[in-house]
Structure 1
């Protein structure tokens, strides 16, 4: 039986071709086959089922970019559990909130992250009856490696395909659990994810997908899982480094890689001779998402790697999905694509649709329902009485149906009654040769309501004073969009995924 015919699930692919590489760790070189992950995840699933977890229950995973992540996820997904990966960059209090809020009755944690686990409050673990450690000991946890030797089998009829409950990154407040509908499903049932990976980006059994981002984030977790459902090989970087990423592409003949704009900027800032030293000819597609990408950055990246750069726009909520290929983007620079799932509606403040080309809130028609876990008010706020939903973004749609994002609505600055969306100002300041990173937001102003303030991180060794940066923007933007103040900071508070935690900037 061929891998494609085997089904979209680890269990079926392992039965068809157990020696096929499912995972390669880029740094250590460790290789895990489909057969090996199938065996370890089957045993772990037996442990979880024996402890009382059933389809629809919740497993929290606090694991670094390491092979144990895949054992835990596949164990949960083969007995119908929701998996919540936890951002291991969070403080113990923040991580504990997610463990508690997601209703986890089991937690798998890496010994590498024992410092986070040790900081969890007793109340955070009150409902977590099953506490398992991987890669070493954690006080109060049972080592998975010991349990697997005598793991019971999962009873016949207990295997169902599971799902994810990701948490928002909490850029504007406490993270929210995104709970999709989940009912008992056959292992390997076709999904939007695998259809999108295969049909839109050409993933299949011969694909090698490079993941340079933390696995707790929705796209890296989902895409690595989806690659394995299609029989491909996943190469995971323990940490992102631009030169190591290029070396991994060459060494493993990577066919697909997903990046965020921060990755792209760091790669472009390598010396051209360094970039040229690596063979990237195996690449079939570079896909980027997660944050808006400045037009100049994307154009420069495409000039380097060729017309293989794809982009999509979506959210962990699963409502709305836009995509744009390289040729389309060259004709619609700055667009994130056309909707592939539901009609887009651009709404004004009164809830009515605005004319084509005008900015407004981006709402999607969708047949996929979700809710924010334990937060009915937040859930109601993103659905309207027509059954449309929105991801909190502002933008416009042109006459050909292409969507252009302006900004997150929550980041909008209102100064003197005028709406200002920071992204445009950030793009202009980010083009200054001395600027490594920039965030623009509104701060209280007695006269104007809010004033535009830019927080700027300079390139190492570079010099630029605030007045120079203000003048740079005023030469390129309408003056009301320009910062009235520039604050130089050592480093902006970004997650490894590239998302900016604006709430942590002192205003």
Structure 2
């Protein structure tokens, strides 16, 4: 079977139906190819060339998908910027990737410190035909920011070939051409582009970018667009849908399934959602470096408690020991992803190309992806994720790097040192707690620290609680994190 390429969906013979619909604008499959190539032409008029970075700072909308496809056709590297993130975070990302242009929408926040700002309305007004062939599918196509294991999240570089393979296998596993797929998390997160519009286009279905990810927004989108599937519901939104008594069990009745990452979703909450709405929650497991999911549940099979589904047909997922040796079923180790050895997609899988640094692309040396997650595989091939080897907090279904929060907040004058940990939370899965040791002579107030943190970190990364204390340390002077929760006051 030939390797898939998502750009081929732009010119399907006798294409019909709606490809993209955000409630304000609709784009049919017959219009998709010409529209994307004309937008690529508009980018060239702004001096964008293959290999440049194009930062896109838009809410979930049709234009955001068009720009991703236009970048893939022209050859610059797409970079997603969350318009709701603080200016300081966007500036850090732009200083790293140094975009040629930053594309913004109406009423966008302040432009970033690096990159020439271009309004999407101006690009639309300058659309011109663009007839050049797309670049090789194995060159850099997009950058997604990971949660990371130490320091600031990595800028992970993906090829069109890798994105296409994941999206095509996902589409074959779970979508139908008559589906209307709602995307509720920000598509500035690269994995959301993979599991959202790209897989939907492979299936010939309709992608519906949803601008509001809260429970009320999900209900409104289901009713307005008659959605048949929701992608990437996080535990926080699931919790609110279940516990909001103003939302009845019939308001999601158009759905066939709803997708979620299985990790961090407690079984009781899953059962409560399915009982209230009669809609199956389909779990999955993936990561930025993959890109996207590597395992997914089959809704035709009963849910396995604690399971995240079976590997997609293009990959093999194994639990390995510290030397990389595969472990037997039921034995816990590090989860490792590699190419499938049999089947129609055998040998095609490759993880991320590498990471983007101040000097450009740093290529990846290994074609095997060591995930940094611990888990085990049962006798039936079901993947069970048991935790992070690195210090990553899963808050509301989103991976948050404790080291990044410590790095950013540690620059505040009133803080001598701090340690950030995750604590169990019924609604969020985990909440973020920052233990702060004051600088000499300082007496920081927890609420004042929260206000300052909101200006430096994205909403989901702001600690839910600040505890001002003396940090416990071991004999080497390092913070003893395991003792922090017992020292709260």
1:25 aligns with 2:4: no
Aligned with 1:446 (options 457, 467, 473)? 473
Change (3 A) 1:198 1:348: closer
Q: Which runs of 5+ in 1 are unaligned?
A: 1-6, 136-142, 184-188, 414-421, 455-482, 488-507
1:216 aligns with 2:188: yes
CA-atom RMSD, angstroms?
3.9
1:267 aligns with 2:241: yes
**Quick check: 2:320–2:335 contact (8 Å CA) kept in 1?**
yes
Please name the residue that 1:402 is paired with: 382
**Quick check: 1:57–1:104 contact (8 Å CA) kept in 2?**
yes
**Bigger relative CO (Cα 8 Å, ≥ 6 apart):** 2
- Separation in 2 of the partners of 1:23 and 1:16? 17
**Quick check: 1:54–1:80 contact (8 Å CA) kept in 2?**
yes
For residues 282-309 of structure 1, give each alpha carbon's deviation from its aligned partner in whole angstroms, at most 9, with x where no partner exists: 3222111285311211222222344632
Aligned with 1:287 (options 259, 263, 275)? 259
CA shift at 1:437, angstroms? Answer: 6.2
Change (3 A) 1:364 1:169: closer
CA shift at 1:276, angstroms? Answer: 2.5
For residues 356-394 of structure 1, give each alpha carbon's deviation from its aligned partner in whole angstroms, at most 9, with x where no partner exists: 434332222234042112389x979x976xx53222212
Please name the residue that 1:484 is paired with: 486
Q: With structure 2 as the length reference, what TM-score do the two structures score?
A: 0.70
Change (3 A) 1:325 1:441: farther
For residues 130-165 of structure 1, give each alpha carbon's deviation from its aligned partner in whole angstroms, at most 9, with x where no partner exists: x42124xxxxxxx324423xx3x3244457768322
- Separation in 2 of the partners of 1:399 and 1:290? 19
Change (3 A) 1:450 1:399: farther
Q: How does 1:307-322 map to 2 (within 5 A)?
A: 308-318=280-290, 321-322=294-295
- Separation in 1 of the partners of 2:43 and 2:188? 21
- Three-state SS of the structure 1 residue aligned to 2:56 is strand
Q: With structure 1 as the length reference, what TM-score do the two structures score?
A: 0.68
Range with bigger deviation, 242-251 or 254-263? 242-251
1:147 aligns with 2:126: yes
- Three-state SS of the structure 1 residue aligned to 2:387 is strand
Q: Which runs of 5+ in 2 are unaligned?
A: 1-5, 340-348, 394-401, 403-420, 436-470
- Separation in 1 of the partners of 2:206 and 2:392? 41
Change (3 A) 1:199 1:146: closer
CA shift at 1:105, angstroms? Answer: 2.6
Change (3 A) 1:356 1:37: closer
Q: How does 1:61-460 map to 2 (within 5 A)?
A: 61-115=56-110, 117=111, 120-121=112-113, 124-125=114-115, 131-135=117-121, 143-148=122-127, 151=128, 153-157=129-133, 163-169=141-147, 172-181=150-159, 191-204=164-177, 206-222=178-194, 223-258=196-231, 259-271=233-245, 274-278=247-251, 280-289=252-261, 291-306=263-278, 308-318=280-290, 321-326=294-299, 328=301, 330=303, 332-340=304-312, 341-349=314-322, 356-366=329-339, 367-369=349-351, 370-374=353-357, 387-411=367-391, 429-431=424-426, 438-439=430-431, 444-446=471-473, 450-452=480-482
Q: How does 1:46-61 map to 2 (within 5 A)?
A: 46-61=41-56
- Three-state SS of the structure 1 residue aligned to 2:265 is coil
CA shift at 1:109, angstroms? Answer: 1.9
- Separation in 1 of the partners of 2:320 and 2:170? 31
CA shift at 1:241, angstroms? Answer: 2.8
**Quick check: 1:357–1:398 contact (8 Å CA) kept in 2?**
yes
- Separation in 2 of the partners of 1:69 and 1:392? 31
CA shift at 1:208, angstroms? Answer: 0.5
Aligned residue-pair number: 405
Change (3 A) 1:426 1:300: farther
